[in-house]
Structure 1
């Protein structure tokens, strides 16, 4: 399914991202073996539909420190996206990640203000 996100056809990429998002609502543990792939997709995705689904998915996995740093970097960049849906899901995931991380809270607060 993750391979389909790299398909040449935008509709295939969107549907693959949507399917992964729907499946992992119920079975988030299925994302565990794919964290590095998910981060690579997040960093390179151009389609707004893929970006907003990836933003949701990043909030469903346990991330190592370096993975978390990479996810935060991508999510903060998503706050400048043209799509309000991408911004909304990026903000939500950042809030979730920052719940127990004061450093992230202070880093992301200014970004929230400028993303409007």
Structure 2
């Protein structure tokens, strides 16, 4: 195991541990990005979660670091069942440049997350990314607005709150 991944070990899933330190290391040395990206496939759920946290934070600032990994993100990372990885993957999907086929595959992944997870955080970030896609493609808007409204009907306060913001944003885009 690499030195950078060792920093992500230990503790429990309620703590990000040293992931912010790892984020800074990657920003200082981008060649570490691939090692931490691979950490999302670790057998250790804590390393998986903290790797996802670090990769997402770095990708938010430097989406170009994530771009070479988009196929692996879509085809492998998205299949990780751990909710902490799923909510970060949902966020990262909006950072990458994708074609229509990839977008449709990601939409199906996000819809699957929404249907199968008990995590409100996964649902909120999936809803957010779907709205980001709908903002860029007017044809998607009716379908995504309908989905968001449906989620809000049975949703928790966090889903209802985010849903209202997203629908208002999409209405302004028309």
What residue is the counterpart of 2:138 in the other structure?
102
- Aligned partner (choices 47, 60, 81) of residue 25 of structure 1: 60
- Counting matched residue pairs gives 115
State yes or no: 1:85 paired with 2:113: no
CA drift at 1:32 = 0.9
Deviations 1:19-65 (A, max 9, x none): 101111211111110111110211x1211100000000001111111
- The answer to whether the 8 A contact 1:17-1:54 is kept is yes
Residues 1-116 of structure 1 mapped to structure 2, 5 A cutoff: 1-40=36-75, 41-42=77-78, 44-80=79-115, 81-115=117-151, 116=155
Moved over 3 A (4+): none
Distance 2:98 2:136 in 1: 13
Structure 2 unaligned runs (5+)?
A: 1-35, 156-174
Structure 1 unaligned runs (5+)?
A: none
CA RMSD of aligned residues (A): 1.3
Distance 1:22 1:56 in 2: 10
Q: TM-score, normalised by structure 1?
A: 0.91
Larger-gyration structure (1/2): 2
Structure possessing the higher relative contact order (Cα contacts under 8 Å, 6 or more residues apart)? 1
Q: TM-score, normalised by structure 2?
A: 0.62
- The answer to whether the 8 A contact 1:76-1:111 is kept is no
CA drift at 1:111 = 2.4
